[in-house]
Structure 1
Amino acid sequence: MLLTNNLMVELFDVWGVDFMGPFPTSFGYSYILVAVDYVSNWIKAIATKTNDSKVVLGFLHDMIFTRFGTPRAVISDGGSHFCNKAFAALLKKYKITHRITTPYHPQTSGQVEVGNRQIKYILERTVKITRKDWALKLNDTLWAYRMAYKTLIGRSPYRLVLNFGCVFHIKTITR
């Protein structure tokens, strides 16, 4: 008999978080802080001026906890913006487990890494040649990511989370 170790989780129970960047400065912003829900692939991200723990704490509280509830676990790399006393205190306050990926096994944060690659891919195709307008394009990039069909979940994150497809009232969307 084959024994497997299955983890039962619901939407928004496990989030992966990571920083992207630094990028060429765009309206004062140099980084993107990304969070991906491990069940739905729903993605949240913000442009930031720094990649420090203060930004992470505010983002998790304001963009994740108050909108989707407190997760069971947060997965991150071992960067100082995620591994510090203030971050640990926030997670302890809400009884959230912190899973830290190891440099020799980064696949643990695979979904957030895939999200990062997709954000970068979409941004590269939508920004101007100077690449200094990426901060303006970030929300449209997240929208495109959420609308795209994901083979592993059999639908788009938008449809999985909201239980209906997005309706477009225009024939073609172009750059």
Structure 2
Amino acid sequence: MVEEAVKSSLGLNWLLIFSGPYPSGQYILVVVDEHSRYPEVEIVHSTSAKVVIPRLQGIFARQGFPKVLKSDNGPPFQSQEFADFANACGFKHRRITPLWPEANGNVERFMGTLNKFVRVCVSGNRNWKSELNQFLMQYRATPHSSTKISPFEALTGRKMSFGLPDIPKSDQAPVSDSIVNNDAMSKTKMKAYADQRRHTSESSLKPGNHVLAKQPKLNKLTPPFDPDPYTVIEKKGSMVTAERDGRCLTRNSSFFRPIKNAVMLEDEEEYEAPQASSPESSIPAAPELVSSPESSLPSAPDITLVPVTPRRNPPRSTRSVLPQKMKDYVMSKPK
């Protein structure tokens, strides 16, 4: 069932992210197919929905409408205009967990390669905009480390023709089967490595639990967690939504710390202040002094002081015989 779902979703689940701003004030809009890793790159001057939507329409004109479009929580993706665009195109828009880029890892990994390409061009005094298409062609034709197949071949079912001779293989397995097997093995290894490195464990948070939320460090005295507790209202996988005073906060489960033996104010009984007493009654009465005869007092025992002689270490003996390791030396007394 999983393999059939992956095969049928090739080219239908896309990941979207922005990179920038660059020194020129421009941004890079990146859209990557989740399974084939095929990238689409557009240079934009703004991140508003009015600028993003026409560029997405151009990408959809080449690749078709997706079923799911996953993005971060940027301003253009939270507008009503983008929601209307998603309804008109018929795809489901999903926003990842805030401040958790691992949820959009495939496109984040491509962003590292793209930013490295831009830095290399700038350091070599080359125009990265004019060489962007050549970079994309080479990336799309190179086998991916996870799928072992180039993004172009994984998306279209054929190898890209870029001037090099190619020998076809008759016993080659279907592209979709290779993608499923290689991608599953690669993700399993990466997940095991990440879990071991981070010492991860299953989250025990449940709706109704009281938690503390991690907060940004403003100075050296800022505590790592907000002292005002939140209440968990929803948990979806590793994404947890907590609420406090009508404000909802959605983060990964690692951003919350459960409060043990939490006592909320609404569960406490009303505190009754003690009634004020009169000044006279507040002063305790002085106890009566009872005299006792002198004979009742115990007599001090007789103490005899004994002189203690100081401790002296015995005189240090000088060795007249040389040690074994110095027998081959000849020692003579100085004249």
- In structure 2, the partner of 1:173 is none
Equivalent residue runs for 1:35-74 within 5 Å: 35-63=31-59, 65-74=60-69
Deviation at 1:34, TM superposition (A): 0.4
SS in 2 for 1:62: helix
Matched position secondary structure for 1:78: coil
- Give RMSD over aligned pairs: 2.3
- Within the candidate set 141, 144, 166, 2:135 is matched to 141
Equivalences for residues 26-41 of structure 1 within 5 A: 30-41=26-37
- With a CA cutoff of 8 Å and minimum separation of 6, indicate the structure with the bigger relative contact order: 1
Take 2:44 and 2:155, find their aligned partners in 1: how far apart are those partners? 26
State the AA in 2 paired with 1:11.
Answer: L
Report if the CA contact (8 A) 2:141-2:159 is conserved. no
Whole-Å separation in 2 of the counterparts to 1:12 and 1:59: 17
Q: 1:17 to 1:112 in 2, by over 3 A?
A: same
> Structure 2 CA distance, aligned partners of 1:130 and 1:47?
19
Unaligned runs of 5+ in 2: 166-335
Residue pair 1:36, 1:43 contacting (<8 A) in 2 also: yes
Does the CA contact (< 8 Å) of 1:78 and 1:100 recur in 2? yes
Q: For 1:68-97, what per-residue CA distance to the aligned partner results, in whole angstroms no more than 9, with x for missing partners?
A: 111111000010112111111011112211
Residues 108-158 of structure 1 show CA distances to partners (whole Å, capped at 9, x for unaligned) of: 211111111111122323345457x22222212212221221121121112
Assess if the C-alpha contact under 8 Å between 1:118 and 1:145 holds in 2: no
How many pairs were matched up?
161
**Which residue among 134, 150, 154 is the counterpart of 2:144?**
150
CA distance, structure 1, for counterparts of residue 105 and residue 78 of structure 2: 19
Matches within 5 A, 1:84-103: 84-103=79-98
Q: Matched residues in 1 for 2:136 and 2:50: separation?
A: 23
Question: Is residue 11–residue 155 contact of structure 2 (8 Å, CA) maintained in 1?
Answer: no
The match for 1:168 among 163, 168, 173 is 163
**Percent sequence identity over aligned pairs:** 28
Shift of 1:48: 1.3
2:112 partner letter: R
Distance 1:50 1:154 in 2: 35
Output the amino acid matched with 2:154: L
Deviation at 1:169, TM superposition (A): 5.3
Cα distance in structure 1, aligned partners of 2:73 and 2:10: 25
Equivalent-residue separation in structure 1 for 2:138 and 2:75 (angstroms) = 31
Distance (whole Å) between structure 1 residues aligned to residue 46 and residue 130 of structure 2: 17
TM-score of the two chains, using structure 2 as the length reference: 0.44
User: Aligned equivalents of 1:165 and 1:138: distance in 2?
Assistant: 18
Q: Which has the larger radius of gyration?
A: 2
Q: Is 1:76 the counterpart of 2:84 in the alignment?
A: no
Distance 1:119 1:82 in 2: 22
Superposed CA deviations along residues 22-47 of structure 1, whole A, max 9, x for unmatched, are: 1121xxx6111000001111100011
TM-score (norm. length: structure 1) = 0.81
C-alpha contact 2:16 2:31 (8 A) present in aligned 1: yes
Of stretches 134-143 and 14-23 in structure 1, the one that deviates more from structure 2 is 134-143
**1:10 corresponds to 2:2:** no
CA contact (8 A) 1:42 1:157 kept: yes
Question: In the alignment, what sits opposite 1:122?
Answer: 117
Does 1:113 pair with 2:108?
Answer: yes
Whichever residue aligns with residue 116 of structure 1, its letter is: M
